Each structure stands twice: as C-alpha cells, then as structure tokens.
Amino acid sequence: MKIYTKTGDKGMTSLATGKRVSKADVRLDAYGTADELNSFFGLLRNSLKNSGINCADKLDKDLCWVQNRLFDLGAVLAGADMEFKAENVCQLEGWIDEMDAELQPLRAFVLPGGNEQVALCHVCRTVARRLERLMVAMGCEGNAEVWLRFVNRMSDYCFVLARFVGQKMEIEPLVWEK
C-alpha cells in the first residue's frame, strides 16, 4: 500500500467519517496539534530515559499512557466516534497530586528551561494549551466537556512534571525577575 493517495493535493482531506474538508479547517489544526503534542511527548520520553533520572521508568509508563490518550483524542477530533471517560481526567489529577506532594510550594512564576527535560515539559504544556484553545474554537461536539477537561489538566500535568523533573534532577528552577 502506498503512503500517498494524491487526494489531498488540492487542499482537501477526509475526516474519519469520510466527509471531505479543507486542510485549513480548525478541526485539522486541532488534531494536527494533538499529533504535535504527542510527538513532543515522545521526545520527552526519550529524553527522560536517557537522562538517568531515578523515576524514568515510571514517568515513561505514565507518558506512554498519555500518548495513547492523545491518539484517542486525535481520532475523535478527526470525527471518530469514541467514548472518553472522566476517569482519564482523574488519572492525570492523581499524578499531579502525587508529584505536587513532593514539591516545595510555588513562590514565583517559573520560566521554561533549566535543562532539556524541563524545557520539553514546558513545550508540551504550551502545545496542550494551544490544543485546548483550538478545541474551544471548533466547538467540540459530543463528549467535548470531558475532552476539554482532559486537555486542560494535561497542561497542568506538564507544568507540575517540569517542576518535578527539575527537582529530581537537582535543577534550580528559573524564576521570572520583574
């Protein structure tokens, strides 16, 4: 089977439903952003594995789960009919709470960076925020409320993950200086 079909050569593509839409449609921007976020999570996973951080295996397992949920979300944004359970939001919240329990209280705004792994967490956070904005712009249908909560929580997860990874790697957080 060839990877190219030539059916998109004039700026149109098919959704999972078979409906043809412009490649400029906000829906494509949304599921393309979900794919971009998924790719950045893959890069983060590899970076964490190679970092020597003592919790890399657990984080890799968690991030693999996140990548699978992002693939689900991309399919839904492309028009597939898939159910998404609120328990997925609770899973992220549980991980946020676990990591946050090990962190010092936040006393200043944090700048992205410190090292590669922390910076990648922040890239994931900002792409998740863009995905959320696109989902709102497209007026998500069906099970949208749970999906929006999931993406919103994902950016929170990435922020806490950045702080957690930085602490585990003994990286001083970069703080905003007014």
CATH 3.30.70.100: does it fit domain 23-175?
no
pLDDT digits (tens, 9 = 90+) for 62-110: 999 999 999 999 888 888 888 888 899 999 999 999 999 999 998 899 9
For residue range 143-167, list pLDDT tens digits in order: 677 889 999 999 999 999 999 999 9
Backbone φ, ψ for residue 45 (5° rounding): -60, -50
Q: Nearest CA to 168 among 48, 22, 72, 41?
A: 48
pLDDT at residue 15 in the model: 73
- Higher model confidence: residue 120 or residue 22? 120
| Share of residues in the chain with pLDDT > 90 (%) | 61
pLDDT band, very low/low/confident/very high, at 35 (cuts 50, 70, 90): very high
Distance between CA atoms of residues 137 and 134, nearest Å: 5
Check residue 109 and report its DSSP letter: P
* Per-residue pLDDT reduced to its tens digit, 125-148: 999 999 999 999 988 655 677 889
The answer to whether residues 133 and 34 touch, using CB atoms and an 8 Å cutoff, is: no
Give how far Cα 80 sits from Cα of 8, 56, 102, 114, Å. Answer: 19, 33, 39, 39
114: which 2 tokens?
């410190």
Assess whether pLDDT exceeds 90 at residue 22: no
In this predicted structure, the answer to whether residue 59 has a pLDDT above a threshold of 70 is: yes
